[in-house]
Structure 1
């Protein structure tokens, strides 16, 4: 063992296999869903997520920085996606009166229409690609696992991680 390796808890074979399965599955699912939305509706998965988040927000509007956190993209990537959605007429931006540096992203009627038009096909594809392959018990287990992994409190049992 070299000095560089001291203190490193390398993944064992089972952990390494699980990690690679997780990465491949997530990548393939995301790629398939994105391609399907692009083909059917002309919007990508991130754009769909933006429209969903806006549709669920009070007044169909969100501050850009809050929206970036909601759809899990960087502020610069969100800005690029919002620009694309503005060009198609699905979203508009307005300055925030309370904070001159901030902007609101606002869902338009056309944005709501494309969201409604794409939602049924998208949920059918999600169901086919994920939920139809799992038992109800597996869905519950995976949900619990994902909540644990998503938690922002560090490793299990660690303080403040």
Structure 2
């Protein structure tokens, strides 16, 4: 196996480690801001964003878990906690007795509506304001290409 490993070049390693550090630090900072200013965890925010992006604010458990890249147990536990706080509800699926939907509540909508402006301000201040429009376009192209590849591998 060691003979077939394509080790990263110094340039590749610098780029990869910089990307990972950026993602970790930016995610940590945004998460702390969300929690302290809006009382919404990054995981809550991710669920609520996905639910506000779909018709009727409802999505099948399995589709939401796949979109978030979460294991089934993490999804179940987190949705149960969010339901306990009134942010979402679980609805059984009439067509499939084994399936269920996660549905955003009015309280969940209020939470994301309160958190989103603060979040976007932080995203701008911590990231967007520090890259040029051309750099942003390149980042978009790179992200979309890598995500397409990940989707193809998963499919």
Alignment of 1:40-51 (within 5 A): 40-51=37-48
CA RMSD, 1 decimal: 1.4
Of 81, 85, 102, which aligns to 1:84? 81
Aligned residues of 1:46 and 1:71 also touching (Cα < 8 A): no
- For the residue of structure 2 that corresponds to 1:151, the secondary structure is helix
Give the match for residue 73 of structure 1: 70
Structure with more of its chain in helix, by fraction: 2
Q: Which has the larger radius of gyration?
A: 1
User: 4+ residue stretches of structure 1 with deviation over 4 A?
Assistant: none
Which of the residues 124, 136, 141 maps onto 2:138?
A: 141
The number of equivalent residue pairs is 151
Matches within 5 A, 1:62-141: 62-141=59-138
Instruction: Note the residue ranges of structure 1 that are not aligned, 5 or more in a row.
Output: 155-161
TM-score, normalised via structure 2 length: 0.92
Deviations 1:50-106 (A, max 9, x none): 111111211111000111122232222221211111011010001111111111101
Q: Which has the higher contact order (CA 8 A, sep 6+)?
A: 2
What TM-score, normalized by structure 1, do the two folds share? 0.88
